[in-house]
Structure 1
């Protein structure tokens, strides 16, 4: 085998390996975004309860700490406040994304897909209950949720939620 042939084979092998690496990286990124979306939506009601119970407390907490005067308890309180404020912002963002998702499904003429999605995550219905309610199979309800998970991922995470195939 000549050196030129060996170099050509090595170049093609390297190119193929790089393409495979890029494909795998895209798949991993896609799975991570989907996982984050599902985790966020599955915990929607818990986060909402945390925010609703803590809104007045977070707003009433005094903010006049001086850094040098902070002890361990003060840092803990500040951490709780920061967590509640971040949760409030995220809930506002999620609610806005849900409104956009609902409007998009209405525009597409498939408002029942949003209702299935809402029923699954917000109303915490099982796929069996949703299938019965919307006169479809459990598998169809699962597909609706999966499809809308992908759509809301883009709304929730922007470019990170877009997958390029």
Structure 2
């Protein structure tokens, strides 16, 4: 084997390895975004409940201290307050994204897809329940949910929610 042939083989192998690495990275990123979206949507009711039914007296209480005076209880209260505020922001963000999703499906003339998505995540209905309620197959209901997961991922995460192939 000549020097040129060996270098060409090495070059091809490196290019192939880099291409596989990039494809694997893209796939992992897509899967991570899908997983985050599903977890967020599945947890929506719990997060909203945390916001709506939180102990407001603790959160509304004024804490008069300076940083040096912080004790364990003050830190705990601050942590609860921060968690509730973050949850409130996330619920508002999800609500806005759901409104965008609904408007998009209405614009497309497919509001039933949105209703299936909402019923699956917010009403926690199974695909079999959805197929009965919406006169479609379980696979169709699942396909609609997966399709709208991709769209709401874009709304939730912006460009990071895009599947760049």
Q: CA–CA distance in 2 between the matches of 1:65 and 1:51? A: 26
Normalising by structure 2, we get a TM-score of: 0.96
1:76-155 superposed matches below 5 A: 76-155=76-155
1:1-165 superposed matches below 5 A: 1-54=1-54, 56-57=56-57, 60-165=60-165
Aligned length: 165
1:64 deviates by: 3.4
Q: CA–CA distance in 2 between the matches of 1:151 and 1:4? A: 49
Gaps of 5+ in 2: none
1:125 deviates by: 1.2
CA RMSD of superposed structures (Å):
1.2
Q: CA–CA distance in 2 between the matches of 1:34 and 1:117? A: 15
1:5 deviates by: 0.8
Q: CA–CA distance in 1 between the matches of 2:81 and 2:18? A: 46
Q: CA–CA distance in 2 between the matches of 1:164 and 1:33? A: 12
Contact 1:58 1:85 survives alignment (8 Å) = no
Distance 1:121 1:62, change over 3 A: same
Normalising by structure 1, we get a TM-score of: 0.96
Contact 1:37 1:153 survives alignment (8 Å) = yes
CA deviations 1:85-121 (Å, max 9, x no partner) are 0000000000000000000000001000000000001
Gaps of 5+ in 1: none
Distance 1:63 1:104, change over 3 A: farther
Q: CA–CA distance in 2 between the matches of 1:155 and 1:57? A: 34
